[in-house]
Amino acid sequence: MRIVLLGAPGSGKGTQAQRLIVRHGVPQVSTGDLLRAAVAAGTELGRRAKATMDAGKLVDDETMLGIIRARLAAPDAARGFILDGFPRTRVQADGLDALLAELAQPLDAVVLLDVDREQLLRRLTGRRTCRSCGRVFNVYSAPPSVPPPCNGQCTTPDLFQRPDDSEATIGKRLEVYAAATEPLVEYYGARGLLRTIDAEGDIDTVAARLDAALDAARPARS
Ligand code: ADP
């Protein structure tokens, strides 16, 4: 299964991708996670990307295409992948198309996770990650339970807010999404690949809608 998850920051792509890994046995390829790992490791890429990310802007297309090309060449991506956060521009979408044609691995579906702006703001401003176990919580809608739900990996959740989840930066990210990424809805729609799901509601409800959309997408390619 080769899938692109499309949607604004905070639309739940990462959360749903985690579920799809289990269901389809293919890796999640999150460019945001790959960049954050580079920042944490202090690599040359990480040093270059950090300021751009913290400002809510996009890392340049050439760099992103290089990252994706390398990641999709890894053995675990041979059976499929879930792209989360990529492509984010028209140039990236064209580059992905060319790469997948080269690999003879066309996309099966692009799913748009649709969430209204007010809900996005709540999700993004409330998002916290646990430094110890890596889980993502939301101070408004999904605070950590007591005891913490991580099977003893951490005794007390040590929550931090992503630097780009500050209120000032969130506005910029939503603006960049509307300008650079939203046009991809039409791009993939015109190719008959797009499925749109209502991504508001609890995680399980959205997951069920996503599964139904992907099941419906399957016969189209056989
Ligand atoms: P979000 O929660 O906003 O969807 P991500 O975790 O996917 O955020 O990405 C965080 C940041 O990493 C982005 O705001 C951007 O600076 C950078 N980034 C991630 N993916 C891409 C991409 N495909 N192209 C350019 N920049 C990217």
Lowest mean pLDDT among 51-55, 74-78, 142-146, 208-212: 142-146
Q: Report the alpha-carbon angle 46-48-52, nearest 5.
A: 100
Count other Cβ atoms within 10 Å, centred on residue 39. Answer: 18
* Residue bearing the CA closest to ligand 1, atom 9: 32
Q: Which of 59, 60, 91 to mutate to test the pocket of ligand 1 (most atoms within 8 A of CB)?
A: 59
162 noted as active-site residue: yes
Instruction: Return all residues near 84 (Cβ < 8 A) that are at least 6 apart.
Output: 5, 13, 14, 17, 28, 29, 30, 31, 32
**Which atom from ligand 1 is nearest to the alpha carbon of 85?**
7
**Which atom from ligand 1 is nearest to the alpha carbon of 57?**
16
**Which residue type, as a one-letter code, is found at position 61?**
D
Q: What's the sign of the alpha-carbon dihedral 164, 165, 169, 175? A: positive
Q: How many Å apart are CA 158 and CA 153, to the nearest integer?
A: 11
Mean per-residue pLDDT for 172-186?
Answer: 97
Q: Could you tell me if the CB of 53 is within 6 A of ligand 1?
A: yes
Strand partners, 142: 138
**Which atom from ligand 1 is nearest to the alpha carbon of 86?**
23
Whether residue 219 is predicted with pLDDT greater than 70 in this model: the reply is no
Q: What is the pLDDT of residues 14-33, one digit of tens each?
A: 999 999 999 999 999 999 99
23 noted as active-site residue: no
Q: How many Å apart are CA 191 and CA 188, to the nearest integer?
A: 5
Q: Could you tell me if the CB of 9 is within 6 A of ligand 1?
A: yes
Mean per-residue pLDDT for 55-65?
Answer: 96
Residue 130: name the closest of 142, 117, 121, 118 by CA.
142
Catalytic residue among 50, 71, 127, 128: 127
Highest-confidence segment of 14-18, 148-152, 194-198, 216-220: 194-198
Mean per-residue pLDDT for 38-47?
Answer: 96
Q: Which of 53, 115, 181, 184 to mutate to test the pocket of ligand 1 (most atoms within 8 A of CB)?
A: 53
Q: In terms of C-beta density within 10 A (0-12 exposed, 13-18 middle, 19 or more buried), how is residue 221 classed? A: exposed
Residue 59: name the closest of 74, 44, 73 by CA.
44
What's residue 218's pLDDT?
66
Q: What is the pLDDT of residues 96-141, one digit of tens each?
A: 999 999 999 999 999 999 999 999 999 999 999 988 888 888 888 8
What's residue 152's pLDDT?
66
Q: What is the pLDDT of residues 70-90, one digit of tens each?
A: 999 999 999 999 999 999 999
Q: Could you tell me if the CB of 2 is within 6 A of ligand 1?
A: no
71 noted as active-site residue: no
Catalytic residue among 88, 123, 128, 195: 88
173 noted as active-site residue: yes
Q: What is the pLDDT of residues 146-171, one digit of tens each?
A: 767 777 677 777 899 998 999 889 99
Per-residue pLDDT band for 204 (boundaries 50, 70, 90) equals very high
